């Protein structure tokens, strides 16, 4: 984890003066994420560590708002934050997970824990040869539809994907797939065309249903 700390110290001034805050957070997140994944790989527990960190962000902190506030507060010392980490996590997570949290606490970066965990997942996917893919649909999909879309696109592009699904009700076309800088539409595959048309019709139906409901109200 010392590599991440060194990068943070050497570039912190540049981020604050030359780049928007969100860009600085993104870059810092990548540095810490890489260090976490490398540390977990040395112990051969990458998946377990990432799952534990994800659970802390998704399940633990939302249920313990005081802890989340402590993590994000610049007024709370790193020692106090480490004490909170131990109360919440010690004995419940792997030593590598606990160490990662303490490193973030020591350098005042617990406030970007969610971004670090997301970046670590992306880095792990890249190491495994899985490309990031964003699927934007006009309506929510069920698990079977998501699996069908991912499988179809993976077959078309010839590789594994790490999918993220986004719902945009304004997308009347039904479906857009973005992999890196490449955007795929209905031309991806015949089966995808059929699914896209179903999504389009479902979107139109839901819009009309909403209008009818407002009209009767």
For 116-174, write each residue's pLDDT tens digit.
Answer: 999 999 999 889 888 888 998 888 888 988 998 899 888 888 889 989 899 988 776 67
Distance CA 113, CA 109 (A): 7
Residue range(s) occupied by CATH 3.40.30 in the chain: 130-216
CATH number of 130-216: 3.40.30
Whether residue 36 is predicted with pLDDT greater than 90 in this model: the reply is yes
How does pLDDT run across 179-197, given as a tens digit for each residue?
Answer: 877 887 644 444 566 666 6
Percentage of residues of the chain with pLDDT beyond 90:
43
Classify residue 196 by burial, with Cβ atoms within 10 Å: 0-12, 13-18, 19+. buried
pTM value is: 0.62
- Domain covering 2-126 in this structure, CATH number: 1.10.520
User: What is the Cα–Cα distance from 138 to 121, expressed in whole angstroms?
Assistant: 26
Examine the pLDDT at 15 and tell me if it is beyond 50. Answer: no
Where in the chain do CATH 1.10.520 domains reside?
2-126
Residue 77, pLDDT score: 93
């Amino acid at each position: 984890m010392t590599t991440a700390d060194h990068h943070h110290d050497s570039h912190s001034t540049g981020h604050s003066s030359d780049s928007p805050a969100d860009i600085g957070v993104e870059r810092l997140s990548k540095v810490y994420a890489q260090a976490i994944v490398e540390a977990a790989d040395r112990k051969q527990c990458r998946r377990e560590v990432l799952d534990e960190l994800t659970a802390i962000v998704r399940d633990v902190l939302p249920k313990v708002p005081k802890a989340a506030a402590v993590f994000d507060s610049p007024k709370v010392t790193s020692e106090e934050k480490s004490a909170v980490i131990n109360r919440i996590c010690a004995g419940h997570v792997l030593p590598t997970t606990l160490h990662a949290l303490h490193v973030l606490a020591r350098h005042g970066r617990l406030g970007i824990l969610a971004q670090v965990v997301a970046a670590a997942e992306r880095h792990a996917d890249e190491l495994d040869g899985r490309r990031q893919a964003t699927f934007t649909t006009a309506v929510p999909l069920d698990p079977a539809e998501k699996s069908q879309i991912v499988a179809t696109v993976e077959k078309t592009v010839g590789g594994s994907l790490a999918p993220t699904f986004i719902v945009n009700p304004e997308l009347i076309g039904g479906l857009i797939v973005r992999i890196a800088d490449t955007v795929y539409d209905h031309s991806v595959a015949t089966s995808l065309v059929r699914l896209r048309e179903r999504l389009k019709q479902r979107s139109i139906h839901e819009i009309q249903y909403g209008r009818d409901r407002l009209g009767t109200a």
